[in-house]
A and B are shown apart, each in its own frame.
Chain A
Amino acid sequence: MTLPFPPKPGIYKFDHQENGGKSRIHLRLEEDFSGVLVVNAAKMIHLNPTAGLMAWQFLSGINFKDVPKQITSLFITNRKQATLDYQDTVSKIEQLISDDANACPVCDLGLESMVPFSAKLSAPYRMDLALTYRCNNNCSHCYNARERNYPELDTQNWKQIIDKLWEIGIPHLVFTGGEPTMRDDLPELVRYAELKGFVTGLNTNGRKLANQDFLQDLIDAGLDHVQITLESHTEKIHDEMVLAKGAWQETVKGIKNVVNSKLYFMTNTTLLKNNHEDLPNFLAFTHKLGIPTVGLNALIYSGKGNMVDTGLPETELPALLQLAIDHTNQSGQRLIWYTPTQYCHFDPMQLDLGIKGCTAAYYNMCIEPDGQVIPCQSYYEKLGSLMEDPWHEIWNHPLSIKLRERKDAPQACHHCDYFQECGGGCPLSREHQSVRPIFKDLILPSP
């Protein structure tokens, strides 16, 4: 089959199979052929125009003899140079998408290292689809700021949304809420998105996954990953926090079902005054359940989270996280810390937790049940309707730009050494900080 050339801007999906394993590859090409190569919705490699075209040629299986001809038809170069560069680029891509890719992209493969949060994107990597704000829990700290009976799009509208998101070039969807399993059409939407080419995930309280048949429907639909919220290892605390009696039993059963499936799985837990003191026992419980990856985050200051007053100050987080690191290291579990903090109070880098900055309206965004786009699933400011407004207006909405460029960070932060990585922490939590940012640039590190 002859592919149209030159390739049009947009997203291309490829499945890469090797050693019995399978990688999900997405290539987002811009008009100038620059792009992003996304491996398993997790590894992002930025490509300049030349590399973007070559990646497309390689992944599309363009005949090698046609490669230099195509390159020289678009770029001012000679075929010899084009061939040499193509071979080098392909060699790197092969290793990047390899199933057992352990090579360091920078020192082994010669990739360039970019400053964090410096990539210029035309759309996020991931879109969260808040299918509904209904929920069978009623968490006291829930960030949801909408009414539970908020208007919802029907199945066909959501499919149109999914189509539109593919056109925009977003490779990864996460179904969330509210509680997305409250929607009967969830498996149908997962299937539709998977067939379209998306990597799909589900964020849930897990109660409905206690029903093995329902879980199997989702697996059959092609769902890739699941995250279940578990607030405590004790039934009492969990149910008190989610304000739903019997919830813990169902959630734990759901966890057990998922653990026994082939889904990529993790839990998530909000560290609050209610539950942080028993963290060691909680972690031991997750290990006992066979949970491979444990996610922790701090209170999100949105919705009820604004009023619940159970959030922990950032200054208390390092000790808790160190404890969690020690436990998960010992148990062989993976720990993921989510929350963007102000690094002057809690620097996740110092604990090797990775860079955590706000990625709202940048790496990820969210669509509300009525089709309105918001910066992230906790930031309830409408940027526009996905179906009615041009994408570029949503992406370049003043609020999107403000968040992406961290323009709203405290003035002091802009002069801080850590600003590029930290970005001033979570915009939603700034107003609730009991301590103010510290000017790191005024401090010389201890010798």
Chain B
Amino acid sequence: MNKKHTIISLITVLMLIILPLSSVYAQSYRFKVTRYDVQAVIEADGTLTLFYEMDFENDPNGHAIDFVDLGMPNDNYQLSNISATINGTLVPEINHSSYVKGAELALGEYQIPPGGTGTVQAKIVGITGVLFPYDHDDRENYVNFQFMPNYFDSDADKSQNTDYELSIVLPPDVGSNEGVYYYPDRWPGEKDAVATLTVEDKRVIYEWHATNANTHTKYLFGVAFPASAVPESSVSSSKDLSQGQIDNTGSNSVQFFPKLLGNICSSMKFLVPLGIIILISIFSSKKQMQETEKRKLQYLKPTLSVEGHGIKRGLTAVEAAILLEESLDQVLTMILFGLLKKEAISVINQDPLVIETNSPLPEGLYDYETKFIEALGHEKKTSQRSALQILIVELIKSVEQKMKGFNAKDTKAYYKDIVQRAWSAVEGANTPEVKSAQFEHTLEWTMLDEDFSGRTTRTFMDTPVFIPRWWWRYDNTYRPYMSSPVADTAGSGNMASSVPGLASSSSSTSSKPSFSLPNIPGATFAASVISGGANMTNSIIGDSKVFTSQVTNRTNPIPKTSSSGSGRYTGGGGSSCACACACAGCACACAGGGR
């Protein structure tokens, strides 16, 4: 065991923090800390990393817990090295505190209301100047680390049975028998630490745990370890301390800082010698603060918000493309491929695009698909272009209408996630055939990926894309032989019959009849879809920037064209409203119903 009963005089004090301990706190703060986990990690470079997790239970009649100040022992820390959350959400602001020497976590809208509970987590890395020489003769070349976790003014803190855990992790190079710890002072739990090793890097860790502790008593913990474990430069000299030497009682029992504490008590007004103090602002230290004066609140820009309808689900991939402000030629390409997949049209000529409409048309075409067919039915290219513009304008307005009351930002994120899910479904397929079938099924969604070409190439790097059954309608060089239909063993009915002269692979197994499927490399397929499709649509709409401009002039509000000239536009929910009162107003809902 590493347990060491200290017989050591504590002749060093890590740091002195001058605190004007008037400890006047805002009158109405009143709370409990039900769980309190603190971990102090002494890193290999001698810096200190601190982790805090505190469960607050605010009193119903107490002031909201709105700020958490992290008191620091010195100025050797950086705000950028502090991260904190409140109930898992990043704390909105971290600033230098005006009230304690340290940083201030402004909980803002996440403050813990009266009667509420909340968990504050904080991590501070890179605190320097926390180690001091072990100035006693029973060990040579040791360094001390002492630590007093934050405590709260007992007038505000009503904790009684806090589940309190404190651990100190020694630097990596400290052997399992080299570290020592001091008996903690005032600690209500077992004074012997539980010494274990960290799982990952086998570092010595001392842990103290009590369920009858509180967070207003000033517990003091400490360890010592070989100085060789940290750079010499990380150890401050004794002369850095303004406090004189502290006598040891000589006892072999726990006499941790007895004299020191005596000093604290006697000089309570200005000196608190301890390693690190974390102060919660709810016992603000501003000396002259009046009992009745509350601390000024952090000023946040006034915000008014309504509960919207959240995410608009059920948009088609084409509508999602509008929402995501994909370029219009991309949108038209998606419509084109959608119709090809539904076997509603065949491409007779790619440049200029000429299509042949199948008769009868399949059922369930979307309005924009029908209008696409009608547009390309015009003989004159100008008429086609004009009709496509109308189609796009109506599509944008339709999406705007559908987005009314929904959260555009969250909805965009939702559809971007769908794109990723579509890719996952493709990439997770077990066999090349299934992979191709899945790819075909979700083609319009994967097309929304900015890296469609690259990802298609990578996904089908080792396996080709088995071309879909309808592909010949797009590229008639792949037209299947119709004279020898091949049984659809997969049952999907999606794959084409074999095409002579093309590389093929077999999906056969010994128990199944074999047949060949036409395929092309992924990169070729992607290029064919994106470039080929774009070329075809551009052959109709001409300059996509001009086309887009003519569309955006007719949408309302007038979207801006992108400066990149990529043919992108703004619309389709980019500014969609979330005007509806979600349900609150209709919350009369169940009232009276069901009788």
A residues engaging B (CB < 8 A)?
30-34, 37, 41-51, 54, 73-77, 81-82, 85-86, 88-89, 92-93, 96, 104-109, 111-120, 122, 125-126, 128, 137, 139, 141-144, 174, 176, 201, 203-205, 225, 227, 229, 268, 270, 295, 297, 299-300, 302, 305, 336, 338-340, 349-350, 354-357, 359-360, 363-364, 376-378, 390-392, 395-396, 417-418, 420-421, 444-447
Question: Cβ of B494: which chain A residues have Cβ within 8 Å of it?
Answer: none
Question: Cβ of A141: which chain B residues have Cβ within 8 Å of it?
Answer: 594-595
Within the complex, the shortest CB–CB distance from B434 to chain A, in Å, comes to: 15
Q: Is the CB of A336 within 8 A of B590?
A: no
A–B complex contacts, Cβ < 8 Å, 27 sampled: A30-B64, A31-B113, A43-B585, A44-B306, A51-B303, A75-B296, A96-B304, A106-B577, A107-B575, A109-B304, A112-B306, A113-B578, A115-B310, A115-B410, A117-B307, A125-B584, A142-B594, A229-B592, A295-B593, A363-B584, A363-B587, A376-B590, A377-B590, A378-B590, A395-B115, A447-B338, A447-B443
Which one of B60, B305, B581, B594 lies within 8 Å of A300 (CB-CB)?
B594
Q: Ordered nearest first, which 10 A-B pairs have the shortest CB separation?
A: A203-B592, A300-B594, A42-B585, A113-B578, A51-B302, A297-B593, A392-B115, A77-B299, A113-B308, A447-B444
Interface flag for B314 (CB, 8 Å) = yes
Q: Is the CB of A174 within 8 A of B591?
A: yes
Q: Is the CB of A113 within 8 A of B593?
A: no
Within the complex, the shortest CB–CB distance from A4 to chain B, in Å, comes to: 14
Interface flag for B76 (CB, 8 Å) = no
* Beta-carbon nearest neighbor of B108 in chain A: A48
* Beta-carbon nearest neighbor of A52 in chain B: B302
Secondary structure at chain B's binding surface: helix, strand, loop or mixed?
A: loop
Q: Contacting chain A: which of B35-43, B136-144, B189-197, B417-425? A: B417-425
Whole-angstrom CA separation of A141 from B217 in the bound complex: 60
Q: Is the CB of A32 within 8 A of B304?
A: no
13 other contacts beyond A92-B304, A139-B595, A300-B590, with CB at 8 A cut-off?
A31-B114, A44-B307, A46-B305, A51-B304, A114-B307, A115-B407, A128-B591, A201-B591, A227-B591, A305-B594, A363-B584, A392-B60, A447-B317
Q: Is the CB of A363 within 8 A of B583?
A: yes
Which one of A43, A48, A396 lies within 8 Å of B581 (CB-CB)?
A43
Within the complex, the shortest CB–CB distance from A231 to chain B, in Å, comes to: 9
Which one of A204, A350, A354 lies within 8 Å of B583 (CB-CB)?
A354
Interface flag for B316 (CB, 8 Å) = yes
Question: Cβ of B444: which chain A residues have Cβ within 8 Å of it?
Answer: 447
* Beta-carbon nearest neighbor of B425 in chain A: A444
* Beta-carbon nearest neighbor of B111 in chain A: A32
Q: Which of B105-158 contact A (CB under 8 A)?
A: 108-109, 111, 113-115
Interface flag for B512 (CB, 8 Å) = no
Whole-angstrom CA separation of A37 from B422 in the bound complex: 42
Q: Is the CB of B445 within 8 A of A89?
A: no
Whole-angstrom CA separation of A35 from B237 in the bound complex: 53
> Which interface residue of B299, B307, B421, B593 has the most chain A CB atoms within 10 A?
B593
Question: Cβ of A176: which chain B residues have Cβ within 8 Å of it?
Answer: 591-592
Q: Is the CB of B582 within 8 A of A46?
A: no
Which one of B302, B441, B577 lies within 8 Å of A108 (CB-CB)?
B577
CB within 8 Å: A-B pair count: 267
Within the complex, the shortest CB–CB distance from B150 to chain A, in Å, comes to: 23
Whole-angstrom CA separation of A229 from B60 in the bound complex: 40
Question: Cβ of B313: which chain A residues have Cβ within 8 Å of it?
Answer: 349, 417-418, 445
Question: Cβ of A76: which chain B residues have Cβ within 8 Å of it?
Answer: 296-299
Interface flag for B1 (CB, 8 Å) = no
Interface flag for B286 (CB, 8 Å) = no
Which one of A302, A350, A377 lies within 8 Å of B314 (CB-CB)?
A350
Interface flag for B330 (CB, 8 Å) = no
* Beta-carbon nearest neighbor of B404 in chain A: A104
Within the complex, the shortest CB–CB distance from B45 to chain A, in Å, comes to: 37
Question: Cβ of A75: which chain B residues have Cβ within 8 Å of it?
Answer: 296-299
Q: Is the CB of A107 within 8 A of B576?
A: yes
Question: Cβ of A421: which chain B residues have Cβ within 8 Å of it?
Answer: 309-311
Question: Cβ of B302: which chain A residues have Cβ within 8 Å of it?
Answer: 47-48, 50-51, 54, 85-86, 88-89
Within the complex, the shortest CB–CB distance from A390 to chain B, in Å, comes to: 6
Whole-angstrom CA separation of A417 from B90 in the bound complex: 24
Which one of B338, B414, B422, B584 lies within 8 Å of A417 (CB-CB)?
B414
Q: Is the CB of B304 within 8 A of A89?
A: yes
Q: Is the CB of B592 within 8 A of A268?
A: yes
Question: Cβ of A113: which chain B residues have Cβ within 8 Å of it?
Answer: 305-308, 407, 409, 578
Within the complex, the shortest CB–CB distance from A127 to chain B, in Å, comes to: 10
Question: Cβ of B60: which chain A residues have Cβ within 8 Å of it?
Answer: 390-392
Whole-angstrom CA separation of A392 from B57 in the bound complex: 12
Q: Is the CB of B306 within 8 A of A111?
A: yes
Whole-angstrom CA separation of A340 from B581 in the bound complex: 16
* Beta-carbon nearest neighbor of B579 in chain A: A104
Q: Is the CB of A349 within 8 A of B309?
A: yes
Question: Cβ of B581: which chain A residues have Cβ within 8 Å of it?
Answer: 42-44
Q: Is the CB of B587 within 8 A of A48?
A: no
Question: Cβ of B305: which chain A residues have Cβ within 8 Å of it?
Answer: 45-46, 111-114
Whole-angstrom CA separation of A357 from B421 in the bound complex: 27
Question: Cβ of B482: which chain A residues have Cβ within 8 Å of it?
Answer: none
Q: Is the CB of A33 within 8 A of B297?
A: yes
Q: Is the CB of B299 within 8 A of A270?
A: no
Q: Is the CB of B309 within 8 A of A116?
A: yes
* Beta-carbon nearest neighbor of B341 in chain A: A447
